[in-house]
Structure 1
Amino acid sequence: MAASDYSARHLSVLEGLEAVRKRPGMYIGTTDSRGLMHCLWEVIDNSVDEALGGHGDTIEIILHPDDSVEVRDHGRGIPVDIEPKTGLSGVEVVMTKLHAGGKFGGGSYAASGGLHGVGASVVNALSERLDVWVDRGGATHHMAFRRGEPGNWADPASGPSIDATFSPFVTGSELAKVGKVARGRTGTRIRYWADRQIFNKSARFTFEDLIARARQTAFLVPGLTLTVRDERNPLEPSEESFRYDGGPKDFVDFIGRDTAVTDTWELKGAGSFSETVPVLKNDGTLVSEEVERDCQVDVALRWGNGYETEVRSFVNIIATPKGGTHHAGFEAGLTKVMRKVIETNARRLKLTGKDGAERIEKDDIMAGLTAIVTVRIPEPQFEGQTKEVLGTGPVRGIVAKVVEKELTAILTSTKRDTKAQANTVLEKIVAEMRARVAARKQKEISRRKNALETSSLPAKLADCRSNDVETSELFIVEGDSALGTAKLARRSDFQALLPIRGKILNVQKASVTDMLHNAECASIIQVLGAGSGRTFDLDQARYGKIILMTDADVDGAHIRTLLLTLFFRYMRPLVDAGRVYAAVPPLHRVEVKGSPRREKEYVYTYSEQELNEVLRDLKRSGRKYNEDIQRYKGLGEMDADQLAETTMDPEHRTLRRITAEHAEAAERVFELLMGNEVAPRRDFIVAGAEKLDASRIDA
């Protein structure tokens, strides 16, 4: 089209909810399952806002078999009287008008998650059908919509149906009274069918995500009961209910995965700030006024013995996964306090000499931290309708000040238990700083190395010739006796060997400092060349496969467990990437006798059951074998050819890949078997004592 042909008649003006249907991504982000769930969050959050204001303490969410979803609350109910400017009922205004609602500074809500006034109307616009029932004033009021347009559905006697015939209102809309309720009973029920013209066919309501969101909300609104019921499978309906009275403190205890080294501390406070906002006057004009805002801060945090960080932030119970000013204020206050307290206790923490010149960084402090940061403010400023980032500037300073004041009081407390925990945290942070510095120095040394310099790798490492990470393999071998055989059995072009002496340090109990000072652990970290803990860089790993090759006995299993604990806690990305394996050496070798027609052969078996099956098959086929069956108690009992054929040769060996698909369950098992708490481990052993086969003990 030529420039001269482009005129005002080519411009389109989208009215009302038409804009939402034309550009849904602007309001809900996507049109897949995430966008579908976002619509449900909008409806649920409106009910939660009522509970936040002290109106109602129960919310029900029901997934119906007909692909509809229903949300019920016992709040005040959407207003049913006529809104004077539009001449429409309050229900129709809320459901059909963008930027309409009770959250624009009219005093209906002190602090709410919804503030743009588009949540309910957007859900209505993107629904093939939506019904709303309001209990208020002794009556139940009902109104129905089709893709945002009000009207009547000719429903069967069985109840609302998406297949019923719809008739839009022609002259004027009607909010019908369909029943009576007790005078004091109030509440809102919304049921809707998502419009499949808008959402992908594969978009579905996820029960697990709904459960997680309901649990999260129950933590953030103490005393609120949320019930989620999935009726999509009538034969096996699912229902879960959540209610917590401890607030963010309970939330931290729930999501903290590692073993706590401190109690869960609560940091509470408030502050105020003024901001200039446009205020809507009665005559319809907008006037800028300076208003005073109150900001309530509630932070719960604790440190664990791990190094992963889990910090979640919320504004008026709305999750802000990308942070914002409240998150930044929390980190700033935390860093300032820790640096100050550590500086004060430098001598006791032995921060002298070279260590004293190092500065504590935020990552050192955040290692092993689990925290929930919540703020409540009226009319928060978010970046976009999806509300993933808080933009209200003054909140940063208020949160930082509350964290500084409350955390300083805890860290300088004279109470015995609190003081001991504070010392543990400070020592942990200093240990993280030292580990980071050591990793940085190691990286600098490796960068400075050139072809003329000797390698700084351990002398006991039998390295491979290949520099190709994808094909290279590192075998961590139990004992020097197995090392000699393995050297002869390996393919030195791509297989490296690192022997370890017996059982390494149990890192589930030991501190980071003890782990780094342990010769075997330090050798493994040094040889891999990718660091440890928070400084671990998977791309720097020198080998594509890490294979743990231990004896096929109880001691070998123990050593393998200790090694896996080290990898799980301090080199977790290797496990997640599927690059850690356990070699599977055989337990037995059966010599099958030859005949004029067949040569003598050897059969390897890997369990007692497999051995019995092999012997049974040999007897059935009439083949004779040497009754003196060799049982391998260690890798050192094999000769090089046997070890290569059964355990090391890629063409014949069997490897067991170590995965962490169920990471939280694995963490609990590691802590039970390898942690500091003796009583749970004793109970576990006692409970399983009857199942123990005494003949399997290698004594």
Structure 2
Amino acid sequence: CNTIPTPDGGTHEQGLRAALTKGIRAFADLVGQKRAKDIAPEDIITGSEIMLSLFMREPQFQSQTKDRLTSPEAARLVENAVRDHFDHFLSDNMERGKALLGHVLERMDERLRRKAEREIKRKTATNARKLRLPGKLTDCSGEGNGETELFIVEGDSAGGSAKQARDRKTQAILPIRGKILNVASATTDKIRGNQEIADLLLALGCGSRKDCNPDALRYDRIVIMTDADVDGAHIATLLMTFFFQEMPEVVRRGHLYLAQPPLYRLTAGATSAYARNDAHRAELEATTFKGKKVEVARFKGLGEMNPQQLRETTMSPASRSLLRITLPPEYEGRAAVKDLVDRLMGRNPEHRFMFIQNRAGELDPELIDA
């Protein structure tokens, strides 16, 4: 018999898409997966190879070239024929069905994320260097000289000091409000709707996950600058988790750094020095300030330092200390890193408890800030 190929699809393909989409959503309800309501046909079809052959009386086409089938009854015929068999296949093969559902949900998450990024790009200026985030990003004027830096700082107070301490040509400031969302345990909807993360993505300009292009990164260095206490370390950890999950190639290429702000200022007469932590303070007291009466001031936050102090201790390339965050070269061992991040930052608190319980004995008690 003669068959007619339809390169532009048509109502028969609509029926197939409807059957697969409704079947996947019904299976998701069966296994208690509530996120399936956002599944679209392209989440199932994209990347698939499907052969669909339909024989029917008096088919109707869009034009004389017959590139697209338009017979209304074709959609109903195909949907009814496929849906019942697909439902039985999923219910009879639960493990394979769950694996398929997981794959479809990953595609759904990726599609929704790309949609959100397109919306963000649509609302912003086409020239990335003219990007403005009112009340957030204070950009630098330098471009492409290998020395531009984005400082991600904790809170408006520290952000104010950092803006005064920065080098306007090479250093940009982006304040974030409190503790950023933990992307390792958050849903795609929460990540997509989080304003702090949206601001970060806009400021960096390189996209995220599969769409991440490190060559489009707007800064040569990204510096996480938080208070030198437990809360500051927590915020830095959340930010490192964000970069590892959303743009690991940026981390692997060595663009991510941790600032090393001081926790103490030690003064004896005309001599002053800054200590990053208790161990560093003890070292200074035993060397530089040995036998002297030392006045110790503790910085509760970056905002307590005046701009000159912040510049000298934390921001000036001539006197600061930065800690580069890296990943194993060529992603060797990345699976182990991902497993560690999932255990420490993921949704299951039991994994964190077991990790701490098993590894607590390896810690030096003097290094614990409690």
Task: State the structure with more CA Rg.
Answer: 1
Q: 2-side partners of 1:535 and 1:564: how far apart?
A: 19
Q: 1:636 aligns with which of 303, 320, 329?
A: 303
Evaluate the alpha carbon distance shift between residue 414 and residue 506 of structure 1 in structure 2; reply closer, same or farther with a 3 A threshold: farther
Q: 2-side partners of 1:536 and 1:413: how far apart?
A: 37
Q: 2:266: which partner in 1?
A: 590
Q: 2:276 aligns with which of 606, 617, 626?
A: 606
TM-superposed CA distance for 1:479, in Å, is: 1.3
Evaluate the alpha carbon distance shift between residue 340 and residue 652 of structure 1 in structure 2; reply closer, same or farther with a 3 A threshold: farther
* TM-score, with structure 2 as normaliser: 0.71
Q: 1:342: which partner in 2?
A: 21
Please give the residue correspondences for 1:125-144 in structure 2 after superposition, counting only pairs within 5 Å: none
Evaluate the alpha carbon distance shift between residue 493 and residue 485 of structure 1 in structure 2; reply closer, same or farther with a 3 A threshold: same
Q: 1:573: which partner in 2?
A: 249
Say which SS state the counterpart of residue 337 (structure 2) adopts: helix
Evaluate the alpha carbon distance shift between residue 411 and residue 654 of structure 1 in structure 2; reply closer, same or farther with a 3 A threshold: farther
Q: 2-side partners of 1:410 and 1:604: how far apart?
A: 69
* TM-score, with structure 1 as normaliser: 0.40
Q: Does the CA contact (< 8 Å) of 1:489 and 1:640 recur in 2?
A: yes
TM-superposed CA distance for 1:562, in Å, is: 0.7
Q: 2:164: which partner in 1?
A: 488
Q: 1:413: which partner in 2?
A: 91
Q: Does the CA contact (< 8 Å) of 1:477 and 1:548 recur in 2?
A: yes
TM-superposed CA distance for 1:412, in Å, is: 3.0
TM-superposed CA distance for 1:527, in Å, is: 1.1
Q: Note if 1:426 corresponds to 2:104.
A: yes
Letter in 1 for 2:337: A
Q: Note if 1:519 corresponds to 2:190.
A: no
**Offset from partner CA, 1:163-201 (integer Å, 9 cap, x none):** xxxxxxxxxxxxxxxxxxxxxxxxxxxxxxxxxxxxxxx
Identity rate of aligned residues, in percent? 36
TM-superposed CA distance for 1:641, in Å, is: 0.8
Evaluate the alpha carbon distance shift between residue 482 and residue 445 of structure 1 in structure 2; reply closer, same or farther with a 3 A threshold: closer
Say which SS state the counterpart of residue 340 (structure 2) adopts: helix
Say which SS state the counterpart of residue 151 (structure 2) adopts: strand
Q: 2-side partners of 1:625 and 1:636: how far apart?
A: 27
**Offset from partner CA, 1:103-138 (integer Å, 9 cap, x none):** xxxxxxxxxxxxxxxxxxxxxxxxxxxxxxxxxxxx
Q: Note if 1:665 corresponds to 2:336.
A: yes
Q: 1:460: which partner in 2?
A: 136
Q: 1-side partners of 2:163 and 2:277: how far apart?
A: 26
Q: Note if 1:558 corresponds to 2:234.
A: yes
Please give the residue correspondences for 1:314-393 in structure 2 after superposition, counting only pairs within 5 Å: 341-342=20-21, 349-350=36-37, 359-360=42-43
**Offset from partner CA, 1:602-634 (integer Å, 9 cap, x none):** 1112232222222122455x6x343x3112222
Q: 1-side partners of 2:214 and 2:360: how far apart?
A: 41
Please give the residue correspondences for 1:122-271 in structure 2 after superposition, counting only pairs within 5 Å: none
Q: Does the CA contact (< 8 Å) of 1:530 and 1:539 recur in 2?
A: yes
Q: 2:147: which partner in 1?
A: 471
Q: Does the CA contact (< 8 Å) of 1:339 and 1:360 recur in 2?
A: no
**Offset from partner CA, 1:209-264 (integer Å, 9 cap, x none):** xxxxxxxxxxxxxxxxxxxxxxxxxxxxxxxxxxxxxxxxxxxxxxxxxxxxxxxx
TM-superposed CA distance for 1:460, in Å, is: 1.3
Say which SS state the counterpart of residue 467 (structure 1) adopts: coil
TM-superposed CA distance for 1:475, in Å, is: 0.4
TM-superposed CA distance for 1:687, in Å, is: 3.4
Question: Cα RMSD (Å) of the superposition?
Answer: 3.6
Q: 1-side partners of 2:256 and 2:89: how far apart?
A: 40
Q: 2-side partners of 1:456 and 1:345: how far apart?
A: 42
Say which SS state the counterpart of residue 664 (structure 1) adopts: helix
Q: How many residues matched?
A: 308
Q: Does the CA contact (< 8 Å) of 1:462 and 1:498 recur in 2?
A: yes
Q: 1-side partners of 2:25 and 2:277: how far apart?
A: 56
The gaps in structure 1 that reach 5 residues or longer are 1-336, 367-403, 594-599
Q: 1-side partners of 2:289 and 2:237: how far apart?
A: 38
Q: Does the CA contact (< 8 Å) of 1:469 and 1:543 recur in 2?
A: no
Structure with greater proportional strand content:
1
Q: 2-side partners of 1:567 and 1:410: how far apart?
A: 42
Q: 2-side partners of 1:643 and 1:338: how far apart?
A: 59
Say which SS state the counterpart of residue 287 (structure 2) adopts: helix
The gaps in structure 2 that reach 5 residues or longer are 1-15, 27-34, 49-81
TM-superposed CA distance for 1:559, in Å, is: 0.8
Q: 1:531: which partner in 2?
A: 207
* Larger RCO, structures 1/2 (Cα 8 Å, 6+ apart): 2
Q: 1:317: which partner in 2?
A: none
TM-superposed CA distance for 1:557, in Å, is: 0.9
TM-superposed CA distance for 1:487, in Å, is: 1.2
Structure with greater proportional helix content:
2
Evaluate the alpha carbon distance shift between residue 338 and residue 631 of structure 1 in structure 2; reply closer, same or farther with a 3 A threshold: farther
Say which SS state the counterpart of residue 629 (structure 1) adopts: strand
